[in-house]
Amino acid sequence: MSRIIIRHRKPLSGEIIPPSDKSISHRAVIISSLAEGKSLIRNFLAAEDPLRTIEAFRQMGIIIEGAEGSRGRGVKSIRPIGVDSYRDSEGSNEIVIQGKGLMGLKKPENAIDCGNSGTTMRLMCGILSGQPFSSALTGDSSLLRRPMQRVITPLAKMGADITSDKGCPPLNIKGGVLSPIHYTSPVASAQVKSAILLAGLYCKGVTSVSEPSRSRDHTERMLKAAGVNIDIKDLIVSITGRSELRPLETTIPGDISSAAFFIVAGSIVRDSDILIKNVGINPTRTGLLDILKMMGADITLENEREASGEPVADINVKYSRLTGVDIGGDIVPKAIDEFPVLCIAASVANGTTKITGAKELRVKESDRITTMANELRKMGVDIEELEDGLVIRGREKLQASSVQSYGDHRVAMSMAIAGLVADGETIIEDTDCIETSFPGFMKMLGKLHQ
């Protein structure tokens, strides 16, 4: 089990290109595998989670070139087959997928192991529900504790037969003929919405989902690019099923959820001035930027453009003394993966930050309300847990300590950023999990300290 030791407290400076977007990488593999013919995906994220999705489709007979070799922790790595202009981070590559159409998958011989990836498992549920075969999905100890009823309920209404262990994986899916539904989701979850839309591909007619506030819309954008009829009205997304998917040629932007660690670091480490290039700024993902700006951060978007149907920009971040704010409501799903690192910003802000309406944090790779409260307390932060959030009273500096990741990649990286504003040596234990989303995280942090 590896650990990270953080000693630097120098200002951060220079330019980086963050790894590719994890959510979009998953969707590119899924939609290309179901398309008719050859898709080309540039700047694919070769981290453990999206590699699980590649392995799942390979198990079902899809040929995916550019992914081979061994990356440890049970997944294969990517062998680059093209030079990517965005390459800076270790995990960004070009892959080619030979899609076989909606009905081109073959029954997997063994259970599909989704590792740590909730996105792989929940999105696969939608597709496997529409197949003329049975299949099983499993995962690591963290994934086996995560709630799956949220996808089982709507998919069962569509006609799927899914059994679970009291709502958690492993799952056994008996696929078959599905019927369209209109589903009102009780949670703003892109994974739930996407599972239903992907199942909707297999239905004759229109399937729709409404959500309480808007979650990320990458599935909708990419299905549209593949020629599927998708209609979006306010918080309702509808899909017309059984149409052929066109192959994709797409370039995946940098992941704002990975850039987030440096956006916060640049904001809180005194005298920093950094440029983070090629970051996806899809408006369903930019809650972190809005919240940090409310806190007084000095963040400027440069070179705004569109790439493969997603908005992209370079982000300049300069140090600024932050002030505590109240965070809640519709902005929460737009920053859902950034709360661990936002807690670090709040811990060194002037005054109190109150986060509410974020109960979903309790069912992520770890219970991020409890894990962040426990670990930040070790660093001297006055932090109170709410059922659906946290109250954080900021202080000038953190106390260096030995902290845990709980096997959660975003907790591990957030605590590394906390170490940058601590007085001494911070040790983060159990950091192999960073490979799930951000290979080369420490190297990139080192680049900003040269």
Residues that bind ligand S3P (CB under 6 A): 23, 26, 119, 189-191, 194, 215-216, 336-337, 360
Least gap, CB of 295 to ligand S3P (angstroms): 22
CA dist 201 and 149 (Å) reads 21
Cβ distance to ligand S3P smaller for residue 26 or 277: 26
Which own/partner contact pairs does 139-143 have at CB distance under 8 Å and 24+ positions apart? Answer: 139/113, 139/114, 139/115, 139/169, 139/170, 140/115, 140/116, 141/407, 142/116, 142/365, 142/366, 142/407, 142/408, 143/114, 143/115, 143/116, 143/117, 143/118, 143/169
Residue 194 or residue 282: which is nearer to ligand S3P going by CB? 194
Q: Would you call 337 a catalytic residue per the annotation?
A: yes
Helices 409-419 + 256-268 axis angle, to 10: 20
Distance (Å, rounded) from C-alpha 296 to C-alpha 283? 20
- State in angstroms the smallest separation of the CB of 189 from ligand S3P: 3
Catalytic site residue from 337, 382, 408, 430: 337
Closest to ligand S3P by CB, 23 vs 129, is: 23
Q: Is the dihedral of CA 268, 325, 437, 46 positive or negative?
A: negative
Cα–Cα distance, 11 to 268 (Å, whole number): 9
Q: How far is the CB of 368 from ligand S3P (least distance, A)?
A: 10
Given the complex with ligand S3P, which of 93 and 215 has the nearer CB atom? 215
Contacts with 153 (C-beta within 8 Å, 6 or more apart), sequence order: none
CB of 194 to ligand S3P, least distance (A): 6
Calculate Rg over the CA atoms of the chain. 21
Residue 410: CB minimum distance to ligand S3P, A: 8
Of 11, 23, 438, 430, nearest to 259 by C-alpha is: 438
Nearer to ligand S3P, 119 or 320 (CB): 119
Q: Which residues are catalytic?
A: 337
